[in-house]
Amino acid sequence: MTADGCGAPAGGVSVSTVAGSLGTQAVVEGRVTLQGEPVGTGYARLLGSGDEFVAEVPLGDDGGFRFFAAPGSWTLRVLAPGGLRAEQAVQADYGQVTKIEVAL
Amino acid sequence: MSRSDVLVDADWAEAHIGQPGVVIVEVDEDTSAYDKGHIPSAIKIDWKKDLQDPVRRDFVDKTGFENLLSERGIANDDTVLLYGGNNNWFAAYAYWYFRLYGHDKVLLLDGGRKKWELDSRELTRDVPERPRTSYTAKEQDASLRALRDEVVAAIGKRNLVDVRSPDEFTGRLLAPAHLPQEQAQRAGHIPTARNVPWSKAANEDGTFRSDDELKTLYADEAGLDLAGRDTIAYCRIGERSAHTWFVLHELLGLPNVKNYDGSWTEYGSLVGVPIELGEAR
């Protein structure tokens, strides 16, 4: 991703777009399912302390999402049609890909 | 100008699907969402391909905007209802852009694509055909847009509202946390800017907060002198700050608010300008 873009594509930006190594990135990624099936319509939100909004991506067709956070503790919140929602604590660190499975 | 003149809800949009004189437009940077399903009768505008000059870093010029709207079948007297993903960032940018070129009958759909999806409203893949029009734009309204020299001169004199996330403001991140972090620019913020992230103006479903909540947010919590000083909003590329420009200029009706679309990708690359790191001082 370059400076001429800012939006969040469905599922999140691919790690293959990262220039150089992942050592300078703190990746949080995962998948959202409902009764074992991927949830392709919905939103993953990354929140800081006090529920401070950090970022949001629409879920991909496979229910996937990805963030490139700062290192630290975050909350992941998922919103989906029908009032479905879920929340999980997340830890992010440079050079690590933190993987999360969310079942609604 | 009041909220009901510029912002409509999904029921209004649903009632106006296919109505003559109303053109629904989905705007986004990545238009693949439109291709997979959009509000019935909606056409699309690609924020990058359609609204940005392919060579220079700038808007398409007046002739380019006229050609775009004519080709999409939008007439001068049409009411244009804009919506999009990313909590309406790019739709708000397009709203600001339409106003820059003098199209006054323009509305934003509260909550945009997200609320429409979360409410499980109808989406279609059918792409409408609209007959070509002969659209005439006005000259750009310079009172809505801030350029870099004006921004540097505004340090300490006007309200500078940095609407990026706190981590981008303080310099911990160079881009929103859904993007890989670049190394090309300097991190930080424009001195004297206050950080009021765009997200504070929106509810979880993407709708705007109430006028009273918004006034409290900018005047009381952020301490901005909205009555006594003119305001410039900026972010990273100008689309999140278009969301805040919409709040301040259109919803709250403040007269002298500009969007600095060069934003941090320009300011953070300028040689010799002052930069502040950390919290606001």
Specify the pLDDT at position A2: 42
Specify the pLDDT at position A9: 78
Residue A10 pLDDT greater than 90, yes or no:
no
Task: Please report which helix (H) or strand (E) contains residue B266, including its range.
Answer: helix B263-267
Specify the pLDDT at position A89: 95
Of B101, B29, B96, residue with least CA distance to B65: B101
Q: How far apart are CA B180 and CA B238, in angstroms?
A: 18
Specify the pLDDT at position A8: 79
Specify the pLDDT at position B75: 98
Specify the pLDDT at position A3: 44
Judged by CB atoms closer than 8 Å, whether chains meet at A81 and B120 is answered as yes
Q: How far apart are CA B132 and CA B199, in angstroms?
A: 37
For range A5-32, the mean pLDDT: 78
Q: How many CB atoms lie within 10 A of CB B71?
A: 13
For chain B positions 170-209, those within 8 Å of chain A (CB to CB) are 172-173, 175-185, 197, 199-200, 204-205
**Average pLDDT score over chain B:** 94
Amino acid in the structure at residue B229 = R
Specify the pLDDT at position A51: 86
Give the 3-state DSSP-derived string for B44-101, with helices as H, strands as E and coil as C.
EEECCCCCECCCCCCECCHHHHHHHHHHCCCCCCCEEEEECCHHHHHHHHHHHHHHHC
pLDDT, one tens digit for every residue, chain B (281 residues): 689 899 999 999 999 999 999 999 999 988 889 999 999 999 999 999 999 999 999 999 999 999 999 999 999 999 999 999 999 999 999 999 999 999 999 999 999 999 999 999 999 999 999 999 999 999 999 999 999 999 999 999 999 999 999 889 998 888 887 777 665 578 999 999 999 999 999 999 999 999 999 999 999 999 999 989 999 999 999 999 999 999 999 999 999 999 999 999 999 999 999 999 999 88
The torsion angle over the Cα atoms of residues B170, B175, B177 and B182, rounded to 10 degrees, is -110
Judged by CB atoms closer than 8 Å, whether chains meet at B165 and A53 is answered as yes
Residues in chain B: 281
Q: How far apart are CA B69 and CA A65, in angstroms?
A: 34
Residue A13 pLDDT greater than 80, yes or no:
no
Is residue B206 within 8 A of residue A41, CB to CB? The reply is no
Specify the pLDDT at position A24: 74
For range A36-46, the mean pLDDT: 95
Residue A62 pLDDT greater than 60, yes or no:
yes
Active site members of B? 235
For chain A positions 26-55, those within 8 Å of chain B (CB to CB) are 41-43, 45-46, 48, 52-55
Amino acid in the structure at residue A98 = T
Residue A23 pLDDT greater than 80, yes or no:
no
Judged by CB atoms closer than 8 Å, whether chains meet at B237 and A81 is answered as no
Residue whose tokens read 């509305």: B107
Q: B167 in contact with A at a CB cutoff of 8 Å? A: yes
Specify the pLDDT at position B152: 97
Q: How far apart are CA A16 and CA A19, in angstroms?
A: 8
Is residue A39 within 8 A of residue A61, CB to CB? The reply is no
Specify the pLDDT at position B184: 56
- Best residue in B34, B44, B169, B178 to probe A by mutation, most A CBs within 10 Å? B178
Selecting from B30, B118, B185 the residue whose C-beta is nearest the C-beta of A79 gives B118
Specify the pLDDT at position A1: 37
